[in-house]
Amino acid sequence: MEIDYSKRSFSYYPTNAIVYATCIDGKWSAPVVTNDFNLSLHCFAGVFHYASCCFEGLKVFRGVDGRVRMFRPDENQKRMKSGADYLDMPAPPMDLFMDMCIRCVQENWEYIPPYESASASLYLRPVLFGYNPQLGIHSADDAMFVVMASGVGTYSGAKSLMPGTAVISRNYDRAATFGSGGYKLGANYAQSLHAYNIAHRLGYRELLFLDSATHTHIEEFGSSNFFAIKGNSYITPDSSSVLPSITNKSLRKVAEEFGLKVERRTVYVEELESFDEVNSCGTAVVITPICRIDDKPALEDGTVTREFKYADECGPVSRKLYDRIIGIQKGLEEDTYGWCTFINEH
Ligand SMILES: Cc1ncc(COP(=O)(O)O)c(C=O)c1O
């Protein structure tokens, strides 16, 4: 069966198998591989009530040399561990996390897109959730960890680096100042879904969230981090309520390599006027240039009070950063940082 990955977007597409393990009374089971995607769960499991859930997303690529690479999976384990610690629930240790990701790739080998399929990849979605039956408000004692996969394109379909529009969210916040925004919890996404739906209905690709305390500085997009280029600087917000993006972390390294000054600091909405290039970045979106940002008092209100405009194509500095990251992921450039984990078929 020949899959046309150029027609795929960033969505769920069926694959062969998932891999799961449970942690009961503090002890992790051996991983189980199954082609039954319907898990059996107790309806009192904590995940259904108190959203005891955190998840990850990482990509697997077939390189120009035919070898299969997984991008920075250790960073995903560390971030999942930080989320599980925040939720006071067990987290899969590094060796189990890595082993289950590798198994999931091997079991779904035929869904790793060919090298030629541009920005397509096998996307892994590791999910950790509260498993034991419970009623009162407390953290889950037991957990289930599942790694699943989908052969995906980008959010914008076949074309990468397709610019999109964004709108500033002034009447919906993603994360509280001292809240959970810095962890990849399912609950954070539940918080943003309604606002996202409004933005999408209005035709915007992205929603730009501000700090919830003052609504004066930029936090991140609903699906990704924010970064801007101004002259020789790579500028990205520094805030404990922003998800620490692995893509952004990698881009900062590459930016330094290119001699850019990396500024990780408070970024004010007013500064949007002065930026040369504005982008969203993340595993799913890779780098998506933003060509316009609208500012409105309320998402539902038709009045646009300010409009920040950028080029209709990816800026030259962002393009260079993109090429270097994709080059490492697809084996076109030397992986000087040791970011890729190679996987053999079996
Ligand atoms: C809210 C949010 N911020 C940032 C990111 C980017 O993080 P990463 O680069 O680790 O995928 C994502 C996507 O995973 C996200 O959902």
Summarised one tens digit per residue, pLDDT across range 181-210 is: 999 999 999 999 999 999 999 999 999 999
CA of 114 to the centre of ligand 1 (A): 25
Q: Which atom of ligand 1 is nearest to the CA of 188?
A: 1
pLDDT at 158 over 60: no
- CA-nearest of 272, 152, 144 to 208 is 272
pLDDT at residue 156 in the model: 66
For the chain, percent of residues with pLDDT exceeding 70: 99
Which residue's alpha carbon is nearest to atom 4 within ligand 1? 224
DSSP assignment of 214-266, as one string?
Answer: TS-BEEEESSSEEEEEETTEEEEE--TTS---HHHHHHHHHHHHTTPEEEEE-
Q: Which residues of 112-145 are buried (b: 16+ CB within 10 A; e: fewer)?
A: bbebebbbbbbbbbbbbbbbbebeeeebbbbbbb
Q: Where in the chain is the domain with CATH 3.20.10.10?
A: 164-329
Confidence band of 160 (pLDDT split at 50, 70, 90) = confident
- In the prediction, which pLDDT does 157 show? 60
Please give the number of the atom of ligand 1 that sits closest to the Cα of 222: 1
pLDDT at 2: 85
Structure tokens at 334: 């030397």
Which ligand 1 atom lies nearest to the CA of residue 242? 3
How many other CB atoms sit within 10 Å of the CB of residue 31?
Answer: 18
Per the DSSP assignment, residues forming a β-bridge with 154 are: 157
What integer pLDDT is reported at residue 127 of this predicted model?
Answer: 98
Q: Which residues lie across from 245 on neighbouring strands?
A: none
pLDDT reported for residue 285? 86
Rounded distance from Cα 223 to ligand 1 centre (Å) = 6
Choose the residue to mutate in 125, 221, 283 for probing ligand 1, maximizing ligand atoms within 8 Å of C-beta.
283
Ligand 1: centre distance to CA 225 (Å): 6
Q: Which two tokens stand for residue 49?
A: 């009530």
Tell me the pLDDT tens digit for each residue of 237-296.
999 999 999 999 999 999 999 999 999 999 999 999 999 999 999 999 889 999 999 999
For 76-129, what is each residue's pLDDT tens digit?
A: 999 999 999 999 999 999 999 999 999 999 999 999 999 998 889 999 999 999
The residues annotated with a catalytic role in the active site are 184
Sign (positive/negative) of CA torsion 307, 310, 314, 320?
negative
In this predicted structure, the answer to whether residue 334 has a pLDDT above a threshold of 60 is yes
The pLDDT of 133-156, averaged and rounded, is 93
Report phi then psi at 340, rounded to 5: -95, 140
Return the SS3 of 103: helix
- Expressed in angstroms and rounded, the spacing between residue 90 Cα and the centre of ligand 1 is 22
Residue to mutate, 247, 279, 280, 329, ligand 1, most ligand atoms under 8 Å from C-beta: 247
How is residue 67 written in tokens?
Answer: 């070898």
Give dist(CA 266, CA 242) in Å, integer. Answer: 12
The Cα 254–Cα 332 span in angstroms is: 15
Q: Where in the chain is the domain with CATH 3.30.470.10?
A: 5-152
pLDDT at 271: 98
CA torsion 47-106-76-174 (nearest 10°) is -50
Of 117-126, 148-157, 250-259, 327-336, the range with the lowest mean pLDDT is 148-157
Give ligand 1 pocket residues (Cβ under 6 A): 57, 220, 223-225, 243, 245-248, 282-284
Q: State the Cα–Cα distance between residues 220 and 166, nearest whole angstrom.
A: 11
Separation in Å, CA 204 to CA 40, 161, 230? 38, 16, 24
Minimal-distance CA residue to ligand 1 atom 7? 245
Q: 8, 126 in Cβ contact below 8 A? A: no
- Going from the Cα of 284 to the center of ligand 1, the distance in angstroms, rounded, reads 8
The average pLDDT across 141-163 equals 87
Q: Which residues on adjacent β-strands are paired with residue 45?
A: 133
Token pair 């930016």 is at which residue? 255
Max intra-chain CA distance, the chain: 57
Q: Report the pLDDT value the prediction gives residue 133, as an integer from 0 to 100.
A: 97
Give Cα 94 to chain centroid, integer Å. Answer: 19
Amino acid residing at 332: L
In angstroms, what is the span from residue 136 Cα to ligand 1's centroid? Answer: 31
Strand ranges, E, within the chain: 18-24, 27-28, 32-34, 53-55, 58-62, 68-71, 121-130, 143-152, 164-169, 206-210, 218-221, 225-230, 233-237, 261-265, 277-282, 286-295, 306-309, 340-343
Write the residue with the smallest CA distance to atom 3 of ligand 1: 224
**What SS3 class is residue 205?**
coil
Domain 164-329 belongs in CATH node 4.10.220.20: no
- For a pocket test of ligand 1, which of 59, 196, 245, 321 has the largest count of ligand atoms closer than 8 A to its C-beta? 245
Give the CATH number of domain 5-152: 3.30.470.10
